Amino acid sequence: MRILKELIKGIYRENPVFRLMLGLCPVLAVSSAVSNAIGMGVSVIFVLLCSNLLVSLVRPLVPDKIRIPVFIMIIATFVTIVDLVMHGFFPALHKSLGLFIPLIVVNCIILGRAEAFASRQPMVSSLADGLGMGIGFTMALMIIATFREILGNGTWLGLPVAGPGFEPVLLMILSPGAFLIIGFLMAFLNWLDNRMACERTANK
Amino acid sequence: MKDIPQFAAILCLVALIAAASLSWINEITEPKIASQEMKALNEGLQAVLPGASKGSIVPVKKAGNISYYIGYHDPEQRKRIGYAFEASGDGYSSTIRTLVGVDTTGTILAIHVLSQQETPGLGTRCQEIRPGESHPWWQAQFKGLNASDVRVDKDGGIIESITGATITSRAITNAIAEKATAVMQELPSGKQTE
Amino acid sequence: MEPQTLFGIAVGTIFITNFVLFRFLGLCPYIGVSKQLDSALGMGMAVIFVMSLASAATWIIYHYFLVPESSNLFFQIFMKSRGNPPDLTYLRTITFILVIATLVQFVEMVIQKMSPELYQSLGIYLPLITTNCAVLGVSILNINAGYSFIQSLVNGFFSGIGFTLALVLMAGLREKLEMADLPGAMKGAPIAFIMAGCMSLAFLGFSGLKIG
């Protein structure tokens, strides 16, 4: 049951993007299309799982003072693996994500979870945490990308979803749109939290 | 302080393991990456030299780099269809690579944008295919024009710029004209070999 | 797209392709540290320093240790007589991030010695410069653009200035915003993002400018 809790928390209550505000750079850059969002999400889940696993296994053997460089090397290795494999087998995605694939190594989520969680918890909890955070990250990415792609391009995953008379709001696909959408989404989640808290106290 | 050799040893060990695993993965993926690039290039060449039989597109090198390609009608390489070359130019937010196929007089047979990272919804429309069609509509306008003279409408030519993507349109067009002029000059003067 | 003259690189990276507002690099500290002007400025200085050094160091490592050319030092020392220089560019990510981590460690020690107040006020955000996408980002961008050593150094330095500019602008605005009467849900991060969106919109006016 505890494993399940570790998994679920990364999705809403401790969503890395909306709550912990980690890993923002790729979120804004990659969320212009839902296909990119999914590609990036899957890559981050892979790296999170592998690095959390290896970090929790290796931690007892590594002296405290050099743990950060060791974690970084572990994460960088998996990121390079993702980079090479994507380049060979998914070249279109590799080109779209571009610079942000190697930048996964500095995605605060991964180093953050390695340091805060995986280095202190047993293997299975670490895996669950990694999976939960990764899924939360991917969902946040997909939600933002959905707004940006539909409003800014009239498509979802490349398929047209808006009617023929729809004039896309170009702003949404460009940089300002990313900031605005995430700002409003965060405000909405805050509002939702306040409502739930009020209802809870009202019900007492 | 006396821990330092121990720290260094552990770090080196981790680094070695990391480098070894990456080197292994690299061995596996490197050929795949190279073949992907070749595949994209070959598909592009086939697209801009319609009628060239497979295997009859021959590169011509100058100073070690491929300058242009000669397209032959037949595998025995007796009749030339024309030439193909890659034109590269800086667009709005990326370098755009375009393959251009011309016949022996320098008239464009077809163009094929190989790669670009322009603004989605604007510059990327240079590769947009309308529903029901099979080729990008913007690229189709180049067919039949003299490659060395193409210009966008804003520069006095007849290529219609993409609305809101003048820079992208101009970049591709000018790159084609520039490269075409250079290639046509490089061709051995005289008639095509029969 | 990449300007080639030093002036073009400098001005371009501050206004036209601003690291924070256009390229989305360096966002975590942007939201985290921009609450006060002084800490924003201090952070900005540290980042400029690290980005410049990192650009220089990573350029050297890439061009003398990783590329498959005759300048590759491994090739010169070990393999001169036989075969081709090895292509180690796939080790780029891991070597760059290690160099950056080391640099940041070094900068931390220097700041702690030279200005303990700054060290205190930056707190946790100083070691976090390692994970600042802008630092690794500029190193990779230099390689992708094929810049020379001097061009890379200039790009690193002025990209840091662009980052600091965005950071300082945001901090100035947020200090004023403390007094504003906002709806509860908007307070904090949401309004910061929306303001960033407006600033990004303003900077979009520069885009497409070609200067060298």
pLDDT digits (tens, 9 = 90+) for A68-97: 888 899 999 999 999 999 998 898 888 888
- Among residues B12, C140, C98, B16, the alpha carbon closest in space to that of C106 is found at C98
Residue A65: per-residue pLDDT = 79
Cα C35 off chain centre by = 20
C17 vs C31, residue with greater confidence: C17
**Cα B28 to chain centroid, rounded:** 26
Predicted confidence at residue B194, as pLDDT, reads 32
Per DSSP, B192 falls in state P
The answer to whether position B54 is within a domain reads yes
pLDDT of residue A84: 92
Residue of A19, A24, A73 to mutate, testing the C interface (most C Cβ within 10 Å of its Cβ): A24
- The domain spans of chain A are 2-203
Please list every residue in chain A whose beta carbon sits closer than 8 Å to the beta carbon of residue B3: 63, 65
What single DSSP character describes residue B52? P
Residue A102 in contact with partner chain C when CB distance is under 8 A: yes
- Two tokens, residue B142: 């180049």
Share of chain C residues as helix, strand and coil, in percent rounded to the nearest 5: 75, 0, 25
Q: If we measure between CA atoms, which residue out of C137, C125, C92, C111 comes closest to residue C49? A: C111
pLDDT in tens, B110-166: 899 988 878 777 788 888 888 778 888 899 888 888 888 888 888 888 888 888 788
Q: Which of B82, B92, B128, B113 is nearest to B176 (CA)?
A: B113
Whole-number average pLDDT of chain A: 85
Give the rounded percent of residues in chain A with a pLDDT score beyond 70. Answer: 99
Q: What percent of chain C has pLDDT over 70?
A: 92
pLDDT of residue A108: 83
Distance CA A141, CA A145 (A): 6
Q: Say yes or no for a CB contact (<8 Å) between A33 and B120.
A: yes
CB contact A87 to B (< 8 Å):
yes
* pLDDT value at B190 more than 60: no
> What is the predicted pLDDT for the residue at C9?
87
Buried/exposed B152-172: b ≥16 CB within 10 Å, e otherwise: beeeebebebbeebbbbbbbb
Contact B22 A85 (CB under 8 A): no
DSSP codes of every residue in C9-73: HHHIIIIIT-TTTTT--SHHHHHHHTTSHHHHHHHHHHHHHHHHHHHHHHHHHIIIIISSSTT-H
Q: What does the angle CA A25 – CA A93 – CA A82 come to, to the nearest 5 degrees?
A: 75
Structure confidence at residue B55 (pLDDT): 67
Give the pLDDT confidence of B52-91 residue by residue, as tens digits.
766 678 888 877 777 888 887 777 777 788 888 898 888 8
Report whether A140 contacts A111 (CB < 8 A): no
pLDDT tens digits, B16-45: 999 899 989 988 888 888 888 888 888 888
B90 assigned to some structural domain? yes
Calculate mean pLDDT across residues A29-43: 90
Which amino acid is it at A67? Answer: R
Instruction: Give residue B189's pLDDT band: very low, low, confident or very high (50, 70, 90).
Output: low
- Nearest Cα residue in chain A from C102: A69
**Is residue B96 assigned to a domain?**
yes
Structure confidence by residue, pLDDT tens digits, A141-200: 999 999 988 888 788 887 777 777 777 787 888 888 889 999 999 999 888 888 888 888
| Residue B145 structural domain | 46-186
Lowest mean pLDDT among A15-29, A51-65, B50-64: B50-64
C183: contact with B, CB 8 A cutoff: no
Query: In chain B, what is the straight-line distance between the N-terminal and C-terminal CA atoms, in Å?
Result: 81
Residues 82-121 of C with CB under 8 A from B: 90-91, 94, 98
Domain count, chain B: 1
Contact check, Cβ <8 Å, B3/A65: yes
